[in-house]
């Protein structure tokens, strides 16, 4: 039986980051003002910035453990649907959040915050690989499939808060522009959509 796509749970995973980006734009701006604000914040709050660095470095790997536990339990319980779910997650994340993101980064050649000069298309240089945010694409591809699987509003919103925290940490640490985060969120949402469609027979939106 075909099931409707659980769009509400997907939205709950994306709206907190969208709201945070909108608030940042209204309060701080979209360009050099944001870079300068968070640079000053990091200088004044080095200990807190170090904690944010832990989040940005380990936010995505923490979910590897979640998916790994799901896979291990599914194998023990002979649950092929969950095994398929985890394998779909791995395959789609590799294709979109890893491969496609890197192709776009290299092709666009956008400078990272604080790096002078114009965009340098087809650059393999890290300072010119800002767009899109790979961290955001990965977290936005990992959390919605879990939310759509569990289908609990509170859990979906909590996962959305996690996506927002990891995604915006890249702006706070001066690694990405807000538009890089938005692009990563869109790519991650595409990955989440594909993961769900592979795993479930769903009706059109």
Q: Is the pLDDT of residue 163 over 50?
A: yes
The rounded distance, in Å, linking the Cα atoms of 107 and 110 is: 9
- Each domain of the chain, given as residue ranges in start order, spans 7-25+34-40+52-199
Q: What integer pLDDT is reported at residue 17 of this predicted model? A: 98
pTM of the shown model: 0.94
The rounded distance, in Å, linking the Cα atoms of 173 and 149 is: 32
Would you call 202 helix, strand, or coil by DSSP?
strand
Q: What is the pLDDT of residues 50-62, one digit of tens each?
A: 999 999 999 999 9
């Amino acid at each position: 039986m075909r099931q409707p796509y659980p769009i509400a749970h997907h939205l709950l995973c994306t709206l907190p980051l969208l709201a945070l980006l909108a608030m940042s734009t209204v309060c701080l701006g979209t360009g050099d003002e944001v870079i300068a604000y968070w640079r000053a914040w990091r200088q004044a709050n080095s200990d807190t910035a170090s904690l944010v660095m832990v989040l940005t470095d380990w936010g995505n790997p923490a979910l590897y453990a979640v998916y790994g536990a799901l896979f291990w339990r599914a194998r023990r319980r002979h649950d092929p649907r969950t095994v398929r779910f985890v394998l779909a997650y791995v395959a789609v994340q590799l294709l979109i959040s890893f491969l496609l993101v890197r192709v776009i980064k290299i092709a666009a050649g956008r400078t990272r915050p604080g790096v002078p000069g114009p965009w340098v298309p087809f650059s393999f240089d890290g300072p010119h690989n800002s767009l899109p945010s790979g961290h955001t694409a990965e977290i936005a591809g990992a959390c919605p499939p879990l939310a759509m699987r569990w289908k609990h509003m509170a859990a979906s919103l909590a996962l959305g808060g996690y996506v927002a925290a990891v995604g915006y940490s890249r702006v706070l640490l001066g690694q990405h522009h807000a538009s890089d985060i938005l692009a990563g969120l869109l790519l991650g949402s595409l990955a989440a959509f594909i993961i769900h469609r592979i795993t479930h027979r769903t009706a059109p939106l």
